[in-house]
Structure 1
Amino acid sequence: MHTRERILKAAAEMIAEDATTTLSVRAVAARAGVSTGSLRFHFPTQRALRDEVLTRIYQHFIPDDPIRDSSRPARDRLVDCLRQVLAAAGVGDEARTAWSAVYQQFIAPEPSAKVRTAYRAYERVSADRVEYWLGVLADEGALPREDFAPKVQFLLTVLNGLSVQRALPSGESVLQAETETLYIAADAVLGSGSP
């Protein structure tokens, strides 16, 4: 196995063991059995390493990820990806059950170090996925390559709000209003006139 592949395998194993792990140069190099200089040669920054590992993980587990279909407009692909997250939460009773579980696990208990750590892990996995989508779109030129943290937080906040809305009783078409909101959010993140 080539050095680059050994590094990626070691980093992926570390993420599989603990999604909240920080891929430090020393830890990944030690696990891969390479020098830190060799790791830096292949991945000059921790972000470059993390981005490549996440790309491979998502390509493996979600081979038909809509974000990769560059024949479609960026905003439609981003909305489809956001819609996938909401689909996992369900609608009506299913959404109420999901939010009840979140409440019981993270809101009802005293915010101990254990609860905070568990929530940060949950939040980090979600943020990494959204950041991955934005990175793919940035690589295509649909938005500037920048610190995506504010945009990721915005999109996660929109998703949280919409998932709560799915759990609440409503007389209107939740899905129609949700789609409109997702397009507004995508446009805000991508900027007007996005491809």
Structure 2
Amino acid sequence: MTQDDRSTGSRERILAAAVAMFGEDVTARLSVRAVAARAGVSTGSLRFHFPTQRALQDAVLARIYDHVFPDDPIHDRSLPARDRLVNCLRQVLAPAGVGEQAREAWSRAHEAYITSDPTEEVRAAYLAMEREGWRRIEYWLTVLADEGALPKEDHARRVRFLLTVLNGLSIERALPAEASILKAETETLYTAVDCVLDARTA
């Protein structure tokens, strides 16, 4: 086995360990020592592949998205841009579940990022998740812009708006509801997507 093979193998073990830890608890902070111990590598080896906590968290989230969404619906040209974007946004909400599952997820997030001390580690963990969500939505909007459904420009305002809508809907999934939450959620997603796509004329 060459040095390159060993290096690639340790990087993959680190990523696999970190992804497993994140899968067990989405609020996991992925400390260098904990991930290195789980992967069976030294902290020096981990730092060689991922010099910063942010680099590790970004790689983990990218790996999770690539695994969970291998066939991105944004590329399904048999559907209008509007429907494809709604389907993509719905994917983001799906892992949160509804009812008890959503309440548990929000309780863990509240404990990890709101009630805990705002240490640099807590901040870095949250911002890594936010960056990955931003990256996905920006990618979807770029695909639609390349097709002419949106102007080719900086999508920051649209991304922030859609992330805000998704955050609100994910909280709503955890709250008691009288009517069908999925029906109301679908209507809200289409309204948000219509606002984004209609921005061409704004």
Shared fold (TM-score, shorter chain, > 0.5): yes
The equivalent position to 1:154 in structure 2, one of 146, 161, 180, is 161
Q: 2:83 is matched with which residue?
A: 76
Q: 1:135 is matched with which residue?
A: 142
Which ranges in structure 1 are unaligned for 5 or more consecutive residues?
A: 1-12, 22-53
Distance in 2 separating the partners of 1:95 and 1:180: 20
Contact 1:131 1:148 in 2 (8 A): yes
Q: 1:34 is matched with which residue?
A: none
Does residue 170 (structure 1) correspond to residue 177 (structure 2)? The answer is: yes
Q: Structure 1 residues 95 and 75, CA, compared in 2 at 3 Å: closer, same or farther? A: same
Distance in 2 separating the partners of 1:148 and 1:83: 19
Distance in 1 separating the partners of 2:70 and 2:151: 25
Q: Structure 1 residues 167 and 105, CA, compared in 2 at 3 Å: closer, same or farther? A: same
Shift of 1:77: 0.3
Q: 2:39 is matched with which residue?
A: none
Equivalent residues in 2 for 1:104-119, closer than 5 Å: 104-119=111-126
Contact 1:92 1:168 in 2 (8 A): yes
Q: Structure 1 residues 141 and 60, CA, compared in 2 at 3 Å: closer, same or farther? A: farther
Distance in 2 separating the partners of 1:147 and 1:129: 14
DSSP 3-state at the match of 2:113: helix
Contact 2:151 2:200 in 1 (8 A): no
Q: 2:71 is matched with which residue?
A: 64
Contact 2:96 2:170 in 1 (8 A): yes
TM-score by length of 2: 0.66
Contact 1:66 1:81 in 2 (8 A): yes
Shift of 1:115: 1.4
Which ranges in structure 2 are unaligned for 5 or more consecutive residues?
A: 1-48
Does residue 18 (structure 1) correspond to residue 18 (structure 2)? The answer is: no
Distance in 1 separating the partners of 2:65 and 2:147: 17
Distance in 2 separating the partners of 1:87 and 1:142: 25
Shift of 1:112: 2.0
Shift of 1:150: 1.1
Residue-by-residue CA offset, 1:143-192 (whole Å, 9 max, x unaligned):
01111111111101100000000000111111111000000000111117
The share of aligned pairs that are identical, in percent, is 59
Contact 1:99 1:164 in 2 (8 A): yes
